Every structure is written in structure tokens, then in C-alpha cells.
Amino acid sequence: MPQPDALSTSDADRDRIAQADAWIAQDPDPETRAELEQLIARVQAGDAAASADLADRFDQRLAFGTAGLRGEIAAGPNRMNRVLVSQAAAGLAAYLLERATDETPSAVIGYDGRRNSAVFARDTAEILAGAGVRAVLLPRLLPTPVLAFAVRHLGMSAGVMVTASHNPPNDNGYKVYLGGRDHGSQIVSPADAEIAAHIAGVAATTPVLDLPRGAYETADDSVVDTYVQRTALEAGHAPAAQPKVVYTAMHGVGWETAARVLADAGFDAPTLVDAQIAPDAAFPTVAFPNPEEPGAMDLSFARAREVDADLIVANDPDADRLAIAIPDPGVSEGYRRLTGNEVGLLLGWRAARQAAGASGDSGPAGTLACSIVSSPGLAEIADAYDLDFEATLTGFKWISRAPNLVFGFEEALGYLVNPGTVRDKDGISAAVAFLSLTAELRANGRTVADHLDEFVERFGCHLSGQISIRVTDLSRIGAVMARLRAEPPASVGGVRVERIEDLSHGFGSLAPSDVLRFVMQGGARIMVRPSGTEPKLKVYLDAAAHDGTVAERRAAASATLEALEGGMRELIA
């Protein structure tokens, strides 16, 4: 093995090693310091893979955007670690102080059960306090919706949630919410760019160990108690029948809070997937802790078969998403997970009935909203009930800002059912709402499957599909998007493309976004975009059919969907 010397290390490697040495000097975490020291030694020994790893960590910085920060836990500016989080906290503090008028700005900080979540939260609280921001830490690890609720309930200027939601086990992240006129919603432009500029200024001028730290407050349990009480009261209603339910927390933090909400709402305790009920940062029973991923709900299916459950309820690890599965004798598992669009449309129909009933003859009683990649069926519901409808860019940072909102959803298992309490997706309140719907159906001798048939009969069959391509080289995503723009197809899977709408420069009231929307013959639709939180290219497919029986509508929409999927797979291969 060659000895480390000036000849075995390139100029680029030596520059990166100097940056890494400076990083080590300010890193308060002995684990990531040691990891980076070992990587440097491998680079100096001529290890090409180590050199590429060092370049990936130091040639760019993990971007702070409207999703905050999210990435793998490791050393370096392109990873999640205590240095990056401390810089983010100092940048956020500078932003809040810059915006402040007479009052001292404030922030509440929450965290989930992922690796390093608690230490990232404490670092944030101490650095915010040291900068002169009033910092309040939630009393223990809690779901993201509780943090979103606390921003408004406590009257805070901002909120920070340390979580990577449903990302792989070694990831973590950092979501930022704003209070005041933003009503506890996640940040949007230009706040993201302004915070990012302050973070860059901190990183360029102040070593993390020189950032002042101060004393923070710890919230008492009253904030959790109030969230539980309001969610049970506002999201559900006293059940007229008790559905038999299986629940999984997917190794996350949802169960403690969900259990209290369900009990307060009058539901019997569900049967638990014991192996997944307690927080565990290793996520030992799932490859990806995301209910959408293949195999993630296998243990839930098995438990449901044991007890002959009417319903499976799954929260993702930070409990801001909800998955529902129902009995289906036509599949080998005996249960089928409903798509996010199916759940969203049923909850949207429920919300529309409630809103229309509350308004009487006074006109539109509110707005139904969903992201542009979610089912167009929600617009048909809004029209049928004389409600307003708004399609937003992807993410609840946009959905939550729809005016006069009564319900919002996105197809990625996110639902906002009680905007007066939480201005973000909330898997716990959505679970209570769906259980209330199921109980009402059961009391009338009907099932969720029956209700899906009733929806098709009333609004037509709206089927959705998705192609998700996970990549290791992010340039592949950009290349596909560029090719689709340069060589737009005239048809996809034999279905004619009527027009392609490029949202990269904005479209109507929508801000610019890297999205292509294909409007297809017969009302079908294709949306293509890079994921905002994971290294994925996502393709969303929608087909609808309004003629014939329920079975004929389903068959027609299914045939169109199958054709679109086959054609898109060929296009993006």
C-alpha cells in the first residue's frame, strides 16, 4: 500500500482535506469527527472511493429550501450533523431577529425518535436562545403535528421540527414553520432563501463552537393535552359503531398521542402491531419506514388477518402521514392499502358534506384543496357541493395556505382535516376522521369498500398510479426532465397528448416549479417532477371514467392507466 505523501494526494483532495480539517475543528460531535478523520486517512492512502466520498461531502452544501434540510447523518456540509444544524439554527435566529419589531422573537422546537433528533433539537434551542430568541423545547419526542399545533397554540414566531419523516433510517431533517400571519405553516419562498442566506453567512464567518448558547424553556404537557382534546373534538365524532382496527406506528412516535386522541374521541383501543409500536431509530422491521413502500405494511396485514380487522391504520414515523388498508379477498394478503388519492377523496367527500351542511343556503362554505399531482376528483366534489377548489404546488406549505380552507390533501398520504387546529398534514387527526367515517358506515351496515363504490357511482371512477425512480446520480433526473422538454411526445401508450404545460416558469397562479403536466385525450393526465425530499423522479398518472356501471367505469379507467404507465416507463427508461 502506498504511503500517504504529497504525490499520492491530488490538489483537489488536499483542498478538501483542508476543508475537512477545519470542519473537524468546529464539530462538537466526537462520532462524526472520528468518522471524518478516518475518511481523510483513506483519501491520503489513495482510496479512490474515499476521495469520491469526500468530494460529495464538501463540494456542495445540503440545500436549505422550502422543505428545510433533509439528508444522511454524517460529517460534512452535504450531510446532516451537529455543525450543519447549529449553523441552520443561527441562521434562523438571525432571520427572526431581522423580522422582529418590538417583541422578542420566539420559536418552539420539536423532535421525533430518529437518530440524533434529540441532540439536534437541543442544539437548536440553545443556539436560538444564545442569539436572543425565546426558545421553547417540547417536553419529549412527539409527532410533527404536535409541533405544528404548538406554533399557533403558543403564539410563537417560528417552529422547528427535527425529523426526516419516512426517509431511510440513517437520514434526519429539519422543518421550519412560521407563526403570525403564516398561521403555523411551513416556510415558502422568499423566507426559505432569506433564511438560507443567513445560514450561509454564519457558515462563512463564525465557527460553530463560537456561537453563543443560552438557556431555553421546556414546555409542559399542557400543549400535548390541548392538541389531544381539540383533535378528538374537531376531527371526529362519537362513533355510532366500533370498527375493529389494527394500528402501527411504523417504529415512530405516533402511538402515545394517537392512543389518547382515539380514546378521547370514543373509540375502542385498536389491536397493535407490537413489533412496530415503540420508537426505534433503527427501524428494524422495514427497509424504508414509509407505508407506501413495498413490504412496509406486511406485519400490519398479518396482524389484521389474525383478528379479522375491518381496517388497518398506519402512521409514518413522525405521524404526519396516514395509510389505510381494508379487507380485500381478491389479493393474496387479504388486505389492500388504499392509495393516498382514495383516502383523500373519501375524506374530501366527508368534509364537503359537513361544510355544505353547515352553510345552509349561504353559498360556498369553504375551499377544498389538493396538490397539482393529486387526484382531479377533488375538484368534482367541490363543484358538486358548491365549494371553492384550489390546486396548489406540491407540499402542505402550499395547501395549508389555500384561502378559507376546510380540507386539503396530497396523494403521498398527507391530509389536513382540521385547519383551525393544525396548518399542516396530520396523520393522527386524519386517522380519527377516517375512523369516524368508518364507524358511521358500519352503523348503517356498509363498509369502506361499499363507500368507494358509492363514490364511483356519484363522481365517476378516478384512478391514479405512480412511477417512482430512485437514483444515486441526481443528474439522471435532470437529464430526463430536459429530454422530455426538448423532445415532447405526441402520445403516451397510445393516448394522444393534447398539450404539455411546463410549470418551470410558473403557470397561472402557481409559482415556478420543475414540473411537466401532460394533458391527455379523454381527460387523463400525467405529471412528472423530481421529488422534493428524496433522490427520486416521480411520475403521477390519472385516468377517469364517468360512463357505464361502476364495474365498467373501473375497467375503462384501469385500461387507460395501464396504457399510460407502460408508455411512460418506455419514455423515461
Catalytically annotated residues: 165
Cell digits for 258? 394517537
Q: Read off the C-alpha cell for 48.
A: 479512490
Query: What is the three-class DSSP state of 443?
Result: helix
Query: How large is the angle between the packed helices 191-205 and 82-99, nearest 10 degrees?
Result: 120
| Grid-cell match 382514495, residue found | 342
Residue closest to 122 by CA, chosen among 153, 97, 95, 89: 89
CB proximity list for 121: less than 8 A, separation 6 or greater: 109, 110, 111, 137, 160, 162
519 CB-near residues (< 8 Å, 6+ apart): 497, 498, 499, 500, 501, 525
Peptide bond connecting 291 to the previous residue in cis, omega within 30 degrees of 0 = no
557 neighbors 464 (Cβ within 8 angstroms): no
Q: Which residue's entry shows cell 452544501?
A: 61
CA-based nearest residue to 279, from 173, 146, 142, 167: 142
* Secondary structure of residue 428 in the 3-state scheme: helix
| Residue pair 428/254 in contact by the 8 Å Cβ criterion | yes
- In b/e form, how buried is each residue of 274-287, taking b as 16+ CB within 10 angstroms? eebbebbbebebbe
CA atoms within a 13 Å half-sphere pointing along the CA-CB vector of 346: 25
Burial of 57 (0-12, 13-18, 19+ CB in 10 A): buried
Q: Measured between alpha carbons, how far is 170 from 70 in angstroms, rounded to an integer?
A: 11
* Contact predicate 53/40, CB 8 Å: no
Angle between helix axes 377-384 and 340-359 (nearest 10 degrees) is 10
Distance CA 276, CA 272 (A): 8
Rounded to 5°, angle at Cα 117 from 227 and 97: 75
Q: Where are the beta strands (DSSP E) in 393-548?
A: 405-410, 414-416, 461-470, 491-492, 495-502, 516-520, 525-530, 536-545
CA gap 341, 16 in Å, rounded: 46
Task: Decide: 141 and 114 in contact? Cβ < 8 Å.
Answer: no
Going by C-alpha positions, the residue among 186, 203, 315, 195 that lies closest to residue 248 is 315
Pairing mode, strands 335-337 and 322-327? antiparallel
Alpha-carbon Rg for the chain in angstroms: 24
Pairing of strands 171-178, 158-162: antiparallel
